[in-house]
Amino acid sequence: MKRVILIGLVLLIAASAIGQTLNVDSLLNEFNLRKEKPEEQLDICYKICSSYFKYDMGKSMEYAEIGLNLAQKVNDKKHICKFAGTIANIYLQRGEYDTSLKWHEKTLSYAVELNDKSMEASIYSDIGVYYALQEKFTEALDNWLKALSILENLENKPVMIQIMNNMAMTYRNMDNYERALYYLEKAKNLVEETDNNYLKMTVYLELGAFFYEQAVKRDPNKFEIALEHFVKANELSKELHQVRYQASSTHALSEIYAHYLQDYKKALNYALESLNLAQQFGDPKMIYAAYGSISRSYYFLKQYPESVEASMKAFEMDSTDFNVGANILSNLILSHSAMCNQDEVIRYFAKLKELTDKHIDRNNQEIMADMETKYETEKKTLRITSLERERKLYVWLGLVGLISLFALGLALWLSKRNARKEKQLIATRSIIDGEMKERTRLARDLHDRLSGNLTAVKIELSKQAQSLYAVIDQLDVCIDDIRNAAHDMMPASLQFGIKVALEDFAAKFTNVHFHFFGQEKRISKRIEYVLYCCATELVNNAIKHANATSIHMQLVINDQYATLSVSDDGCGFDPKTAKKGLGIKSISDRVAFCNGFIDFNSSPGHGTETTIELRTDND
DSSP state, 598?
A: E
- The mean pLDDT value of the chain amounts to 78
DSSP state, 575?
A: T
Alpha carbon distance 219, 546 (integer Å): 50
Above 90 in pLDDT, residue 564?
Answer: yes
Ranges for all domains in the chain classified under CATH 3.30.565.10: 497-615
Measured N-to-C along each axis, helices 243-259 and 284-300 cross at an angle, to the nearest 10 degrees, of 30
Ranges for all domains in the chain classified under CATH 1.25.40.10: 1-154
Note the pTM of the prediction, 2 decimals.
0.50
Mean pLDDT calculated for residue range 410-438: 62
Above 50 in pLDDT, residue 13?
Answer: no
DSSP state, 196?
A: -
Mean pLDDT calculated for residue range 344-368: 71
DSSP state, 578?
A: P
Where are any strands of DSSP class E within 447-535? 512-518
Alpha carbon distance 141, 132 (integer Å): 8
Q: Are 454 and 479 in contact (CB under 8 A)?
A: yes
DSSP state, 55?
A: T
Above 80 in pLDDT, residue 427?
Answer: no
DSSP state, 195?
A: -
Nearest to 563 by CA among 498, 500, 508: 498
CA count, 13 A, side-chain hemisphere, 357: 6
Above 50 in pLDDT, residue 20?
Answer: no
Alpha carbon distance 58, 73 (integer Å): 23
Q: Are 483 and 454 in contact (CB under 8 A)?
A: no
The count of residues in the chain is: 619
Give 95's contacts (C-beta < 8 A, 6+ positions apart): 133
pLDDT at 491: 74
Alpha helix (H) ranges present in 446-468?
A: 451-462
The pLDDT tens digits of the residues spanning 41-76 come to 888 888 888 888 766 778 888 889 998 999 988 888
The CATH class that applies to domain 1-154 reads mainly alpha
User: Of 212-221, 321-330, 429-438, which gets the smallest average pLDDT?
Assistant: 429-438
561 DSSP β-pair partners: 615
Nearest to 27 by CA among 44, 49, 46: 44
Alpha carbon distance 296, 332 (integer Å): 10
Highest-scoring range by mean pLDDT, 169-173, 328-332, 426-430: 169-173
User: Of 29-38, 283-292, 425-434, which gets the smallest average pLDDT?
Assistant: 425-434
List Cα–Cα distances, 341 to 65, 284, 306, 309, 348, in angstroms: 58, 30, 15, 15, 11
Q: Are 276 and 312 in contact (CB under 8 A)?
A: no
For domain 497-615, the CATH architecture is 2-Layer Sandwich (3.30)
The pLDDT tens digits of the residues spanning 186-196 come to 999 998 888 88
